[in-house]
Amino acid sequence: MKFDTPAGANPIDRTAVVGRPHDRIDGPLKTTGTAPYAYEHHAEVRNPACGYILGSAIGKGRIGAMDLAEAKTAPGVLAIVTAQDAGKLGKGKFNTAKLLGGPDIDHYHQAIAVVVAETFEQARAAAALIRVDYIRAKGRFDLAEELKTAPLTGNSNGGSPPKEARVGDFEQAFAAAPVTLDATYTTPDQSHMMMEPFASLAAWHGDELTVWTSNQMIDWGRTDLAITLGIPKEKIRFLSPYVGGGFGGKLFLRADAVMAALGARAAKRPVKVAMPRPLMANNSTHRPATVQRIRIGATREGTITAIAHESGSGDLPGGRPETAVNQSKLLYAGANRLTAMRLAVLDLPEGNAMRAPGEAPGMMALEIAIDEMAERLGMDPIAFRMKNDTQVDPEKPERPFSERNLVRCLREGADRFGWARRDPRPGQVRDGRWLIGMGMAAAFRNSSLVPSGARVRLGRDGILVVETDMTDIGTGSYTIIGQTAAEMLGLPLNKVQVRLADSRFPVSAGSGGQFGAASSTSGVYAACLKLREAVAQRLGFNTTDAVFEGGTVKSGNRSADLADATRAGDLTGEDKVEPGDLEKKYQISTFGAHFVEVGVDAYTGVMRVRRMLAVCDAGRILNPKTARSQVIGAMTMGVGGALMEELAVDKRFGFFVNHDLASYEVPVHLDIPHQEVLFLDGTDDKASPMKAKGVGELGLCGVGAAVANAVYNATGVRVRDYPVTLEKHL
């Protein structure tokens, strides 16, 4: 179905199953350890060999010679594959650097060999015996240095034209404004560091390849694996039924899948490869560091007259910028505007999407700037935001937002959090040795509908089976998809069986860009409409007015059991939702407000988050329980971004130094004492047939700034460089 007019009244509005806080239907499998992850498909593949990836020990240069002799004769070794004997490999659409490097080296820990052995330990021991002579070249590893000469860029390489986006005359309006701010903020490189590492199990049957992997996007991964190996896509089955976290790192095919496939081909055995933790930071992708300059000019009454956001980031040759200016185009009114990005070439590992790419680091900067500006104006930061709210796209005023309830989020959040108790003067509130501060930020993230297909089958056993290649990366896809199908056919959730993430199923949106939930359930909705027609036809009912409820079908004054329809055989429906041009007519975004209270130890500078609140406006919430889990996870990630996370760059040798979870710090439970999440109870009929939007990334956008603003309120020291570690405010 083409979604090109706002969704009218539809079966989802009944919300007998959708919109309820159902437990995850895959929960018992996960909590009992019986959900098979990529490394654990013991039932399908017995006794696979183990592959170990050897990563490059230099950041830039060439392999002069490689001596495999000793490694080949090491105990248990079955095969070693390098670029020399891998055959001709293609480069996938989504990765910037080659997934098997050599002789040229693009970045540190780029895979240069996979060693296959009977056990993991044997493969690792043999990998250590490979001798590599490197010829080191001078690399570009210093973002600040390279940005000095970096050119303007569009959103993606070869995509939108590399230019500034301008409305009105920013420079003139900024010069004329009585109150101004001109400040530069930095965000560091960050690593996804998901719990489950990159992992794949590959098995060849003749020229056909099956790969169980851990990936967010089945069709992208399958397509890129086919391109990389130079084989037809149809020869590959690609599955990822359970994923232990992705955060954007698993949007793309990575070295684990390629190395498992190459290793299995060479060893003539199924091979599994899991990325050891120390390799993950430099072998895979990361969120690029940014340098962001923000200028804001306003009247004395607090009306923004000029706003500019310029961001610089770096990536490998042919890479993409971190689109940190996205939200500054849309969040606040202002007649004179400028956004621009610069992209430097760096020889560090590949930069790419990490949860809410663009807006997450962009909001970390913008929402401190708004706080600073409010202070200069002597205004409450919430009142300042409300005053500059806009119901239309500020760059294209003819385009309204489909739904925008930012002001309501701010107001309800302020009431709930007790914002009125905040002292706007920093450093005034003490609790023993702790300086107490409150901070807030707006939340903003765009939301899109992405083509998504599904197939549903109602069986004679009364079970409704849903099949789509959608993934569940810990988000709750299984559950909301089950709820959608149950609602559409008027069945209880326990009569629905959801099968996901197999390339034999219809291609879905996949999990990314917070488009997964609304898009994949809309695809299931479309397929269920087809199934409802098939049921009505079989029963001889009118297809347009049939009502499915409580296991029965009613049309006019006629009524039948749903089971009557399947007595003569199973019925199926298959369809796909496709966006129309509603996204051209309307700006479709999600909004919210984050509130944080911190304590800062007056003597040591140690910071503790004391409580957090998020208010989210994201259309229909499909399952408040799984949505809340998404938001509290995102808020936790936001605290990590604010106070802890940073990949430290060795600018001499070009690699990320802290490549394990001992030195790449993320929050633990003790760091997060109290979190509350409120959802506005709205729907957005222009966002998707489900009237739902994304929420998983909204929960992150703004959190970092809310924490930083709270720390400022506690201490009076403004830190503009993330993470806000204690030495920066002592």
Residues involved in catalysis? 697
Q: Considering beta carbons, is residue 194 or 409 the nearer one to ligand MOS?
A: 194
For position 41 contacting ligand MOS by CB under 6 A, the verdict is: no
Beta bridge mates, 547: 554
What tokens does 167 get?
């409305």
Among candidate residues 129, 123, 134, 110, the one with its CA nearest the CA of residue 77: 123
For position 353 contacting ligand MOS by CB under 6 A, the verdict is: yes
Contact segment (CB under 6 A) with ligand MOS among 88-96, 245-253, 605-613, 683-691 equals: 245-253
Minimum CB–partner distance for residue 507 and ligand MOS (Å) = 17
Minimum CB–partner distance for residue 154 and ligand MOS (Å) = 19
Minimum CB–partner distance for residue 310 and ligand MOS (Å) = 23
Q: Considering beta carbons, is residue 465 or 666 the nearer one to ligand MOS?
A: 666
Task: Give the CB-nearest residue to ligand MOS.
Answer: 248
For position 354 contacting ligand MOS by CB under 6 A, the verdict is: yes
Angle between helical axes of 255-267 and 218-229 (0-180°, round to 10): 50
Q: Considering beta carbons, is residue 351 or 506 the nearer one to ligand MOS?
A: 351
Q: Considering beta carbons, is residue 312 or 513 the nearer one to ligand MOS?
A: 513
* Rounded Cα–Cα distance for residues 435 and 431 (Å): 6
Among candidate residues 309, 312, 322, 311, the one with its CA nearest the CA of residue 354: 322
Q: Which of 355, 495, 628, 659: binder of ligand MOS (CB under 6 A)?
A: 355
* Rounded Cα–Cα distance for residues 707 and 441 (Å): 9
Question: Could you give the 3-state DSSP secondary structure of residue 271?
Answer: strand
Minimum CB–partner distance for residue 344 and ligand MOS (Å) = 21
Amino acid at 586: Y
Among candidate residues 494, 499, 701, 435, the one with its CA nearest the CA of residue 590: 701
For position 513 contacting ligand MOS by CB under 6 A, the verdict is: yes
For position 571 contacting ligand MOS by CB under 6 A, the verdict is: no
Q: Considering beta carbons, is residue 357 or 723 the nearer one to ligand MOS?
A: 357
- β pairing state of 304-315 and 336-345: parallel
* Rounded Cα–Cα distance for residues 680 and 617 (Å): 5
Contact segment (CB under 6 A) with ligand MOS among 244-252, 302-310, 524-532, 560-568 equals: 244-252
Contact segment (CB under 6 A) with ligand MOS among 224-232, 351-359, 527-535, 681-689 equals: 351-359
Contact segment (CB under 6 A) with ligand MOS among 8-16, 347-355, 480-488, 608-616 equals: 347-355
For position 321 contacting ligand MOS by CB under 6 A, the verdict is: no
CB-based contacts of 243, cutoff 8 Å, min separation 6: 37, 196, 214, 215, 216, 250, 471, 472, 473, 474, 501, 511
Minimum CB–partner distance for residue 468 and ligand MOS (Å) = 18
Q: Which of 453, 512, 579, 638: binder of ligand MOS (CB under 6 A)?
A: 512
Q: Considering beta carbons, is residue 359 or 575 the nearer one to ligand MOS?
A: 359
Contact segment (CB under 6 A) with ligand MOS among 243-251, 334-342, 486-494, 642-650 equals: 243-251
For position 216 contacting ligand MOS by CB under 6 A, the verdict is: yes
Cβ pair 173, 304 in contact under 8 A: no
For position 251 contacting ligand MOS by CB under 6 A, the verdict is: yes
For position 304 contacting ligand MOS by CB under 6 A, the verdict is: no
Indicate left, alpha or beta for 158 from its phi (over 0: left) and psi (-120 to 50: alpha).
left
Q: Is the dihedral of CA 123, 128, 133, 139 positive or negative?
A: positive
CB-based contacts of 203, cutoff 8 Å, min separation 6: 44, 45, 48, 209, 210, 211, 264, 270
Minimum CB–partner distance for residue 353 and ligand MOS (Å) = 4
Beta bridge mates, 597: 438, 611
For position 520 contacting ligand MOS by CB under 6 A, the verdict is: no
Minimum CB–partner distance for residue 696 and ligand MOS (Å) = 8
What tokens does 613 get?
């609140």
Query: Which backbone phi and psi does 31 adopt, to 5 degrees?
Result: -75, -20
For position 248 contacting ligand MOS by CB under 6 A, the verdict is: yes
Q: Is the dihedral of CA 96, 98, 99, 101 positive or negative?
A: negative
Does 357 sit behind a cis peptide bond, omega within 30 degrees of 0 on the bond before it? no
Q: Binders of ligand MOS: how many residues, by CB under 6 A?
A: 10
Minimum CB–partner distance for residue 171 and ligand MOS (Å) = 34
Q: Considering beta carbons, is residue 245 or 506 the nearer one to ligand MOS?
A: 245
* Rounded Cα–Cα distance for residues 217 and 70 (Å): 39
What tokens does 246 get?
């992705």
What's the first-to-final CA gap in the chain, in angstroms? 58
Among candidate residues 312, 437, 439, 305, the one with its CA nearest the CA of residue 372: 439
Q: Considering beta carbons, is residue 243 or 409 the nearer one to ligand MOS?
A: 243
* Rounded Cα–Cα distance for residues 641 and 291 (Å): 15
Q: Considering beta carbons, is residue 170 or 247 the nearer one to ligand MOS?
A: 247
Minimum CB–partner distance for residue 253 and ligand MOS (Å) = 14
* Residue with the two structure tokens 């909705």: 525
Q: Considering beta carbons, is residue 216 or 484 the nearer one to ligand MOS?
A: 216
Cα radius of gyration rounded to whole Å, the chain: 26
Minimum CB–partner distance for residue 378 and ligand MOS (Å) = 38
Contact segment (CB under 6 A) with ligand MOS among 352-360, 367-375, 382-390, 569-577 equals: 352-360
Question: Which residues of this protein are in contact with ligand MOS, per CB under 6 A?
Answer: 216, 246, 248, 251, 353-355, 357, 512-513
